[in-house]
A = this chain, B = another copy of it.
Amino acid sequence: MPILYHHWLSPSARFVRALLVEKRVAFELRLEKEWERRPAFLALNPAGEVPVLVMDDGHAYSGTMAIAEYLEEVIPEPPMLIGDAEDRYEIRRLTGWFHNKLGTEVTRHTVSEKLFKRFLRMGEPDSEAIRCASHNLKVHLKYISYLSERRHYLAGPQFTMADAAAAAHISVVDYFGDINWEDWPQVKEWYVRVKSRRSVRALLEDRITGLKPPAHYSELDF
Interface, chain A (partner B; CB < 8 A):
46-47, 59, 61-67, 69-70, 73-74, 85-86, 88-89, 92-93, 95-97, 101, 143
Contact = CB atoms under 8 A, between A and B. Distances in A.
* Tally of this chain's copies: 2
A62 to B, nearest CB: 6
A109 to B, nearest CB: 15
B101 A89 contact: no
B92 A85 contact: no
Nearest to A70: B89
A164 B9 CA distance: 33
Given A47-B97, A101-B47, A143-B46, A92 B74 contact: no
A168 B86 CA distance: 26
Contact of A66 (B61, B96, B101): B96
Residue among A59, A88, A96 with max Cβ neighbours from chain B (10 Å) = A96
Nearest to A69: B92
8 contacts: A61-B93, A62-B93, A64-B96, A65-B65, A69-B69, A70-B85, A70-B89, A73-B88
A73 B85 CA distance: 6
Contacts of A61: 89, 93
Contact of A93 (B63, B86, B97): B63
A144 to B, nearest CB: 12
A64 B89 CA distance: 11
Contacts of A64: 96
Nearest to A89: B70
Contact of A97 (B63, B74, B86, B89): B63
B89 A66 contact: yes
A96 B65 contact: yes
Contacts of A46: 143
A96 B95 CA distance: 14
A69 B89 contact: yes
A129 to B, nearest CB: 17
Contacts of A66: 89, 92-93, 95-96
Given A46-B143, A65-B65, A70 B92 contact: yes
